[in-house]
Amino acid sequence: VRGIQDQGVIANAKHFIENNQETHRMSVSADVDERTRFEIYYPPFQAAIEAGVGSFMCSYNKINGHYACENNQTLSIDLRNTMGFKGWVMSDWFATHSVYSSAINGLDQEMPIGFHFSELLKLEV
């Protein structure tokens, strides 16, 4: 993280979170309890935050039935409030599934284009 950002480039920690498989990765739900997330999945991401990482990329999969890029528990509550992340969250390529839910639950940037985060977002606000 520091090596990248020392060169004037913002480092990106990905894929947040529970992106465990390629098969059906666009639709699978990784059903994981809070303790397991904090003990097994979050430590490498917490280390990235402590190193000053500037951005995160949310993954394609669902987490406990909610897409990772519109998951309030993992993006807003865990990542930002509990873990202290101060940067921005971008979607993986075409991993944004909604306008309103993504925006209010912690996604800051839709990649690679603004399909949902475009005129549609303006209509929702």
| Nearest C-alpha neighbor of 113 from the set 93, 98, 97 | 93
Q: 78 an active-site residue?
A: no
Residue 66: count of CB within 10 angstroms of its CB: 17
User: What residues contact 76, with CB distance under 8 A and at least 6 apart?
Assistant: 105, 106
- Beta pairing partners, 73: none
The catalytically annotated residue of 6, 31, 33, 92 is 92
C-beta of residue 75 within 8 angstroms of C-beta of residue 15: no
- Distance, CA of 47 to CA of 43 (rounded, Å): 6
Catalytic positions, written as ranges: 92
